Amino acid sequence: MIEPVALSTLTTFQIGGPPVARVAPVTEHDLINETLVVWGMAENWLLLGGGSNTVVADDGFDGIVIHVVTRGIEVLRSETTSEADAVTGPTGGVRLRVQAGEPWDDLVAYSVDRGWSGIEALSGIPGSCGAAPVQNIGAYGQELADSLVAIDFLSYETGEVERLEHADLGLGYRTSALKQGLRGVVLAIELKLHDTAAEASVLGSALGQPLKYAQLAGALGVQLGDRVPLQIVRATVLGLRADKGMVLDPSDPDTFSAGSFFTNPIVTEAFARSLPADAPRWPLAAEPADRVIPLEEYTGVGPVPGEEPVRMVKLSAAWLIEHAGVSRGFRLPGSRAAVSSKHTLALTNTGGATAEEVAELARYVLGRVQAEFGVNLQPEPVLVGLTL
């Protein structure tokens, strides 16, 4: 055990009191052993990585914090393509095993510098690599799920180290089995990235994956599906995130947050039609093709035979918040918590804010959106000792 400190010093929101105790082992071996000791002696334990997605109550945490700070990136295998195949053929692959405490953006920078693509659009996301699969981090058309092969996981239920494959993790939009009740500690993640070394030797630069996000393509001045040099993609993403206050900057209180505080809601297509026509929406599945159903197969009563399942649509939480009357920079009277002046999805600590002030602001935003549009927004960060 090491001396507990206020969790405000370990979280990007800079809010939260101290735990009862804290462990911060620096090797994977020690992380396993010390975690097992904590599990054997304490009912209440809290897993903390980079602290970028956690909001802790002002009176702290009544238990032991397991602070994951292990570092290291290991190349497991590299499969390269020939220069002749580099332009028209697939790029080679490289597999990495990354310690859970490695800062996520350090991994992205490391990969981009070596010409490995697949996570370049995830540049600038704060937090640790071990936390990345918990909510399947994603941005600008890429998700961790696109590159994640497996994780090494210390199970709370068995006390054993297990390898959980991609298919075991239930990865979805900002969710996973880890977020839905699977308890334990991510020890390391394994990724498969695209090695563009041969391609770069022909074309003169390492290209990122085909662009899937309109805003990023627009910022780059190219079309969806185009490929752009990795370093340019990374720099552009960092710029876009900085404009929204989503890149940590000690001189900018707008970045003292947990990033996006609310997830984009997913609703039925029928419900989405009830919203204003200009409300952004993104179907989660392709439009079904027209079908011809013989009359003898349908009586006119009940569902159409073989009818397609209900289609779901993702909405913009930022649009809903703004059009519910909550503007950028909004704060409740006397509060030191505010909506970011750059992006309505982020709630920020303007200086000395309490956890309860953040919770009060979040409740206000939730209430406004519910009253105006009938949509229940869901908080994205882990709330410790707080309820909304």
User: Between β-strands 382-384 and 346-349, what pairing exists: parallel, antiparallel or unpaired?
Assistant: unpaired
State the catalytic residue, choosing from 22, 97, 174, 368: 174
Taking a C-beta distance cutoff of 8 angstroms, is the pair 347, 253 a contact? no
**Tokens for 17?**
């009191």
Give the integer Cα–Cα distance in Å for 182 and 285. Answer: 28
Give the integer Cα–Cα distance in Å for 191 and 130. Answer: 12
Tell me whether residue 147 is one of the annotated catalytic residues.
no
Q: How far apart are the first and last CA of the chain?
A: 32
Contacts of 293 (CB under 8 A, 6+ apart): 304, 305, 306
User: Between β-strands 142-143 and 61-67, what pairing exists: parallel, antiparallel or unpaired?
Assistant: unpaired
- Tell me which DSSP letter residue 285 carries: S
Closest CA to 131 of 192, 70, 44: 70
Give the integer Cα–Cα distance in Å for 17 and 39. Answer: 22
State the catalytic residue, choosing from 52, 123, 128, 260: 260
Dihedral sign (CA 290, 296, 298, 300) = positive
Instruction: Return the active site residues.
Output: 174, 260, 380
